Structure 1
């Protein structure tokens, strides 16, 4: 059995510390006010160690943006449209309380201001939503003319706009309510009557489903 290289393990841990510290600093200060000195101090590493892993602050920001999905634990209970709803509500709650996840999403939204053009974070969510929509198709929950991949991309755009509006309007306090409203309008366009009758458009932690 191969043994792990202690130096490699230490390098992986250091890189992870830097990414997590950077996420906190970017969220607290914004990209432009966040300095390499602040990030290295937050991570508890030297600036030399930071530059060994990332050549520029922009490279750190891009890694935080890419890592946003690793900062959350996506629920895997259920199937089909109810699971998609539950995942959307879960992500909304994480945007309210999870600094690391919120930083990654913020950088994805603001990337044009820092010289990045990278849709991979958005595409990653579209791919995850597409997988769940395929389940919904297998369960017979989708209308015949719904294209699962196309709707996954529409959903990412609609969700992103909704969370941004909520952030500007209320500091994301009402994000969960806005996501519920979004889905109340989206569902009739994609779900069969039978599916609509049993779906719950509310967070699954709010109260037991009847």
Structure 2
């Protein structure tokens, strides 16, 4: 068990170092040598866990999935808001999330498959919106899959704009504005009246997760059973 724990820690150390380098340099300029120096591990240790720079980048991108966990809510619209606002907050505070977003939006990373985060976010939104529809939270005309894709694309654009304008400092405000504009065309007004759309919502959700380890370790949204 100790050997396994050590291997897990080494892998996380390498991923954290890769995230730092990818965020600072971008995919094309980042080198294995710089990642090795930042991680303080041997080349053998790195290649035991990751086959290439591409494999490292995919590892960083996949780490976003582990940060989509939010407490289950009776109102699925609130749960959707919580997922989005938590991600926005973590973009300001979590280097791994910032690196993943930098990679997913890096149009110079020609050799890197950047579709994964967009597809996974689409799946998360699709599940939550289908569930919200089944609970009677959505307006009759809403097509959950279509709405989910619009939200993912819009959210990505807001992230890119916030990064360019303020290095994510204004991201909570921009995301709140996005949700205030989009949700009234999707969600019943009676449901919206109970939704917390405050700019501090992401920080509140993170504090809730930190205070409840069993919640933080629960399955991610992608692992939940499909909505019937």
Same fold (TM over 0.5): yes
Cα deviation for residue 81 of structure 1 reads 0.8
Give the counterpart of 1:160 among 138, 156, 172: 156
Q: Which runs of no fewer than 5 residues in structure 2 stay unpaired? A: 205-228
Give the counterpart of 1:34 among 14, 27, 30: 30
More deviation, 183-192/105-114: 105-114
Q: Which runs of no fewer than 5 residues in structure 1 stay unpaired? A: none
Greater radius of gyration (CA)? 1
Kept in 2: contact 1:80–1:134 (CA 8 A): no
Q: Normalising by the residue count of structure 1, what TM-score does the alignment of the two structures yield?
A: 0.85
More deviation, 195-204/37-46: 195-204
Cα deviation for residue 77 of structure 1 reads 4.1
Give the counterpart of 2:201 among 201, 204, 209: 204
Structure-1 separation of matches of 2:28 and 2:201: 38
Are positions 1:74 and 2:88 aligned together? no
Cα deviation for residue 86 of structure 1 reads 2.0
Aligned to 2:21, what secondary structure does the other structure show? helix
Q: Which residue of 2 aligns with 1:49?
A: 45
Aligned to 2:109, what secondary structure does the other structure show? helix
Give the counterpart of 2:11 among 4, 11, 15: 15
Deviation digits for residues 148-201 of structure 1, max 9, x if unmatched? 122111111110001101111111111110011111110121011212332232
Are positions 1:187 and 2:183 aligned together? yes
Q: What is the aligned residue count? A: 202
| Cα-Cα RMSD | 2.3
- Bigger relative CO (Cα 8 Å, ≥ 6 apart): 2
More deviation, 75-84/183-192: 75-84
